[in-house]
Chains A and B, each alone.
Chain A
Amino acid sequence: MSSKVKEIPLVWLAASACTGCSISLLNSASPTIKNILVDQIIPGVHINLRFHQTIMAGAGEQVIKVLEDTAVEKKGNYVLAVDGAIPTGANAFYCVMGERHGKPVTLETRFEELARNALTILAVGTCAAFGGIAAAAPNPSGAQPVKTVLEAKGINKPLINIPGCPPHPDWFVGTVASILLTGLPKAEDLDDFLRPKTFYGKLIHENCPRRACFDEGKFAKKPGDEGCLYELGCKGAITYADCPLRRWNSGANWVIGAGAPCQGCTQPEFPDQMAPCYEKLKDVDLPVIGAYWLPGKEGK
């Protein structure tokens, strides 16, 4: 009976990452991380996590062998998840892992070797998807998003971006479950930035519980005030994610729920064009979603 369970190999590569994306995945509430790693995530399918630096039992050469063997033995069948941007400066020596013939191997090389034979690639977090914090100006390590490196290496593989700093665990789990149940996403399932529309289809602003305050021109002037956080630097008006509906940490709260402005962390513009974090957005055309008041015009 157990032999009927289909094993989906997953390799998780940490590049110039902070491990926040992995820690966020540990927070998955339903399924739990234990369900994801041990159980059949959907009946008849088990995710076989073969490599993840932060949780795997082994170390050193024995795990490098797993990494290298997977690329050959599971060619075309494994999912490659990457968190962190890929540094390309200083001949990519800003991030190395393991050795070959006594020389360090760059993460760029590890990524390239694994990407060539992968079934699909998941860029987890804003660093992997868009460069994010790792590529913040002046980008000292020459950090690049997964897509740019794939293009530079001429690797044509299906890529799904799951940004967020970090991403909500549901965004990763939901994307993987969707691949297992219905196959790789079709072009129309992803937005222009290769994000699944299921999770990134609407602006924070569209579903924000403080939206009515925005429409009425009631703005918070300092933390703790009631009202829309737009003037305190909220980037929810230009940020696509379902945080207001999904909420964070098993639904305990979310950013605007804690009285803080959205940082815009699921966007390619994060962090540089979202900065300063606590200054009002400049010169943006806000989408008109039933609004009768717009910035630049006189409020009520």
Chain B
Amino acid sequence: MSRIIIDPVTRIEGHLKIETVVEGGVVKEARSSGNMFRGFEIFLKGRDPRDAQIIAQRICGVCPQSHGVAATLSLDSAFGISGKIPDNARIIRNLIQGAHVAQDHVLHFYHLAALDYVDVASVAVYQGKDSELNSVKDFIMRGELGPFVPRYEGDYRLPTEVNQLATAHYLEALEIRRTGHEMVSIFSGKIPHSVGIVPGGITCTPTIDMITAFLWKLKKLQNFINNTYLPDVIAIAKAYPDYCEIGAGCKNYLSYGGYDLEGAEPDLTKRKRLYTQGVTFADLKPGKLDISKVMESVRHSWYQDYPAAKHPSQGETVPSYGKDGAYSWVKSPRYDSKVYEVGPLARVAVNYASGDPVIRNLVDSALAELKAPTSALFSVMGRHLARAICAKYIADNVEKWLLEIKPGEPTFVQYQIPEEGTGAGLTEAARGALGHWIEIKGKKIANYQCVVPTTWNASPRDENGNPGPIEQALTGVKVKDKDNPFELLRIVRSFDPCLACAIH
């Protein structure tokens, strides 16, 4: 029996440690520890409620936009205006969030995940005329290889020319994701930490020139997703077929739904959305979600215990470092007392289960190309594939919505901050189901709780001892070389963990 500790887990957002117990080359037990706490739920208290969307975005600089949306939806509902947001504002909120999420998926695959599969060192023998690749070759020849070395060695399987091409795509993706941020900025001022989405609507006044500039940046992004990103995911899945079989974990999937398609329904859980709200399982049968069954446990987290798991609307956050039995700053959200995975795979699975023809077609054709069964979705490569499908799906819908903007029509509705009120903002962030819950008293924030995608995925054990999704996905995995445990990191990174988000 031996232990493999990976601390820090890199090429993710934030401070994560993974510890596994390995017996006979197989992971018997895994622990996921979030290692940085700031206390947003504490310092949001007592503030002007409107400031929530400015402050809560700062939970994470990788996914600020989704926190801005979740906070704003919670404020719209607490202010009693959630059925009154003008269509222009609803649409532009979707565009801002959609552009941000699409670039985030590109960033994850190329800049966070790809170096697990692509050997950049292959560029040392590049003989072609591409100036970008030749500059990488010069870089390698100079001999100072940070940040690409050190790395795990011994399992890079792509042919030399594919490695070189993938390296060129890594560089191109840097430009593409920057373009995605430029799109966000057009309507939302700047990013990270944008300013355009506020309770009541949006701040900008959309004009034709903004719409046109956005459209042609979007076309560049779509071209990359369709002709580079999706094919690259398929190519890597073909070269690493064993990763279509490992890393599934709990196989329970949950989505809050996101991207409002109508504005008049005040109840978020009843509103028609691009991504459906629901749950599903390995059988891909649809299931309804009852938001009152979301509960958070802190039994194994560094917070003062409470007797039973709490609904986030009643949640509390009192840090208690060193608490007996605790090993993470991440809490343990559970649905109906069970462990659920959230994220692109959950979104795709829930929409697939609900019969969405576009998602069904994208999934079925990708699996056909891989000659893989549906069960291959529930794997490391399945997550990468689902993420690329989500990038395409949202980018294509953003193109449709863009032309629904009506310049000159309202973008904002007035409101009063109530003396007392409560609200919940539910959406789908890049990394999955995101909820913010607010309680207002005396026109100030009395309580604020966030349950964030990586809170679900990187959660420690709950009060029943059930390990979280990443912990379950690692358990039972065969590690070929304990000094280069590729398997563990490839599994963890397929979830696209974001620890600043998870803990907040």
CB-CB contacts of A206-247 with B at 8 A, as 1s and 0s? Answer: 000000000000000011100000000000000000010000
Given A63-B150, A224-B205, A258-B195, CB of A18 within 8 Å of CB of B59: yes
A259 contact set on B, CB distance < 8 A: 189, 196, 203-205
Distance of A20 Cα from B412 Cα, bound (Å): 28
Contacts of B181 in A (CB 8 A): 27, 249
The answer to whether A260 and B35 have CB atoms under 8 Å apart is no
Q: Which of A269-300 contact B (CB under 8 A)?
A: 271, 275-279
Whether A253 touches B185, Cβ cut-off 8 Å, given contacts A59-B6, A59-B489, A63-B150, is: yes
**Contact across chains for B62 and A19 when beta carbons are under 8 A apart:** yes
Closest to A278 in B: B50
**A143 to B36 alpha-carbon distance, docked (Å):** 11
Within 8 A of A (CB), among B190-210: 190-196, 198, 200-205
- The answer to whether residues A252 and B55 also contact, given A53-B8, A98-B8, A166-B193 and a CB cut-off of 8 A, is no
Summed over the interface, the residue pairs from A and B with CB atoms below 8 Å come to a total of: 277
Q: Which residue of B lies closest to A20 (CB)?
A: B61
Instruction: Tell whether, in the assembled complex, residue A57 and residue B150 are in contact, meaning their CB atoms are under 8 Å apart.
Output: yes
Q: How many residues from B make CB contacts under 8 Å with A?
A: 87
B440 to chain A, nearest CB (A): 14
Segment among B137-145, B336-344, B398-406, B425-433 that sits at the interface with chain A: B137-145
Q: Is the pair B35, A58 in contact by a Cβ cutoff of 8 Å? A: no
- Closest CB-CB distance, B461 to chain A, in whole Å? 19
Asked whether, in the complex, the Cβ of B414 is within 8 Å of the Cβ of A18, the reply is no
Complex Cα spacing A98 to B7, Å: 5
Of residues 19 through 69 on chain A, the ones whose CB sits less than 8 Å from some CB of chain B are 19-24, 26-27, 29, 32-34, 37-39, 46, 48-66
Are B50's CB and A277's CB within 8 A?
A: yes
The answer to the question of B135 belonging to the interface, with a C-beta cut-off of 8 Å to chain A, is yes
Q: Is the CB of B138 within 8 A of A260?
A: no
Q: Which of A66, A248, A263 has the most CB of B within 10 A?
A: A248
Residues of A within 8 A of B144 (CB): 7, 46, 48
Within 8 A of A (CB), among B205-237: 205, 213
Of chain A, the residue at the smallest CB distance from B444 is A276
A34 to B203, alpha carbons, bound, how many Å? 33
B8 touching A16, Cβ below 8 Å: no
Q: Flag whether B47 is at the interface (Cβ < 8 A).
A: yes
Q: Are B171 and A263 in contact (CB under 8 A)?
A: no
B residues in contact with A27, CB < 8 Å: 178, 181
Question: Contacts A59-B489, A271-B55: A95 and B13 contacting too (C-beta < 8 A)?
Answer: no
B384 at the interface (CB under 8 A from A): no
Q: How far is the CB of A53 from chain B (nearest CB, A)?
A: 5
Report the minimum CB–CB distance from B7 to chain A (whole Å): 5
How far, in whole Å, are A259 and B190 apart by their CA atoms in the complex?
12
> Within the complex, which residue of A37, A97, A263 is in contact with B54, where a contact is CB–CB below 8 Å?
A263
Shortest beta-carbon distance from B442 to chain A in Å: 14
A103→B149 CA distance, assembly (Å): 26
Q: Are A14 and B15 in contact (CB under 8 A)?
A: yes
Complex CA gap A132/B499 in Å reads: 19
State whether A276 touches B150 (Cβ < 8 A). Answer: no
Query: A255 to chain B: which residues have CB within 8 Å?
Result: 189-190, 195
Q: Mark out the residues of chain B between 242 and 284 whose CB falls within 8 Å of any chain A CB in the assembled complex.
A: none
CB distance from A173 to the nearest CB of B (A): 14
A223 and B198 form a contact (CB under 8 A):
yes
Contact B321 A57 (CB under 8 A): no
- B411: CB under 8 A from chain A? yes
Contacts of A279 in B (CB 8 A): 48
Question: Among the listed B37, B38, B54, B62, which residue makes an inter-chain contact with A277, where contact means beta carbons less than 8 Å apart?
Answer: B54
Contact of A155 with B by CB under 8 A: no
Cβ-defined partner of A2 (8 Å) among B43, B138, B177: B138
CB distance from A162 to the nearest CB of B (A): 15
What are the residues of chain B within 8 A of A23 when measuring CB–CB? 61-62, 192
B186 within 8 A of A: yes
Task: Output the least CB separation between A129 and chain B (Å).
Answer: 15
Interface string of B44-71 (1 = CB under 8 A from A): 0001101100110011111010000000
- B51 touching A38, Cβ below 8 Å: no
Are A249's CB and B43's CB within 8 A? Answer: no
| A119 contacts chain B at the CB level, 8 A cutoff | no
**A137 contacts chain B at the CB level, 8 A cutoff:** yes
Residues in A lying within 8 Å of B, measured CB to CB: 2-3, 5, 7, 14-24, 26-27, 29, 32-34, 37-39, 46, 48-66, 87, 90, 93-99, 104, 107, 133-134, 136-141, 143, 165-166, 222-224, 243, 248-250, 252-261, 263, 265, 271, 275-279
Extra contacts, 11 of them, besides A7-B144, A107-B36, A260-B189 (Cβ < 8 A), are A53-B10, A59-B10, A63-B8, A87-B36, A90-B321, A165-B58, A222-B412, A224-B201, A243-B190, A275-B47, A277-B54
Which positions in B face A, CB cutoff 8 Å? 5-15, 35-39, 42-43, 47-48, 50-51, 54-55, 58-62, 64, 107, 111-112, 115, 120, 132, 135-136, 138-139, 141-142, 144, 146-152, 171, 174-175, 177-178, 181-196, 198, 200-205, 213, 319, 321-322, 411-412, 414, 489, 500
